[in-house]
């Protein structure tokens, strides 16, 4: 088994999900008492969130690249960044290490293509929805043309992530608001939905939504398991 290096804490809520899913995946594949070989560097999310608001992506990238180097030093054979938003600095992290960087949008794009979905609605933080690093990666590498909610919908999705989900708050009222955003996306031509923030799976599941859903946290965790056991 190859050791996976996790850069987590963004937020701690979703990092817990990564840890559980990767261990469950290894146990399911190998049976018995097996679990995953993992090393975790968990950052203080307050510091990263402050850099996000300031738009200081270079400093955030340098800090996460330093975390990746530490994980490589202690034996990680690949890096998994446990957040969608901070893949904005994925190039800086990948360049800082000699081991593979498992990009979350690659896991997502491959799943979308396999399902025949080409125009997903991307639900994520404002940074992920409004910048091109994620949508552009899906388009360039996978031929996926993601669409995003309108301005009001983007505000709804973003605010619920930062005000509730990262704090472990799961509200039925917020679920209903998300489902209205999804409904509007379907009317705009979306053929599927990307849970493009690692906390969204806490709030929505496939049983809530008529369109096919792609939970990036689960897909990324599966990619980590596949790498570990390859």
* Catalytic (active-site) positions: 83, 197
User: First and final CA of the chain: distance in angstroms?
Assistant: 8
> What does the block give as tokens for 119?
């125009």
Angle, nearest 10°, between helix axes 104-115 and 216-229? 100
Neighbouring CB atoms inside 10 A of 33's CB total: 6
Task: Give dist(CA 105, CA 216) in Å, integer.
Answer: 8
């Amino acid at each position: 088994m190859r050791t996976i290096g996790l850069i987590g804490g963004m937020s701690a809520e979703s990092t817990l999900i990564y840890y559980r899913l990767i261990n469950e995946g290894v146990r399911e594949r190998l049976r018995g008492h097996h679990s995953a070989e993992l090393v975790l560097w968990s950052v203080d999310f307050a510091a990263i969130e402050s850099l996000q608001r300031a738009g200081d992506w270079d400093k955030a990238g340098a800090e996460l690249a330093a975390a990746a180097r530490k994980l490589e030093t202690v034996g990680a054979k690949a890096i998994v960044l446990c957040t969608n938003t901070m893949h904005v600095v994925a190039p800086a992290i990948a360049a800082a290490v000699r081991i593979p960087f498992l990009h979350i949008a690659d896991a997502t794009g491959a799943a979308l293509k396999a399902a025949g979905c080409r125009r997903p609605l991307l639900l994520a933080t404002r940074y992920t929805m409004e910048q091109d690093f994620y949508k552009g990666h899906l388009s360039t590498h996978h031929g996926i043309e993601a669409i995003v909610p309108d301005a009001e919908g983007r505000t709804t999705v973003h605010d619920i992530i930062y005000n509730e989900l990262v704090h472990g708050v799961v509200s039925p009222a917020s679920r209903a608001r998300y489902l209205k955003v999804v409904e509007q996306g379907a009317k705009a031509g979306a053929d599927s939905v990307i849970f493009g923030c690692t906390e969204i799976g806490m709030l929505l599941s496939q049983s809530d939504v008529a369109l096919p859903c792609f939970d990036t946290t689960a897909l990324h965790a599966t990619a980590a398991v596949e790498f570990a056991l390859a």
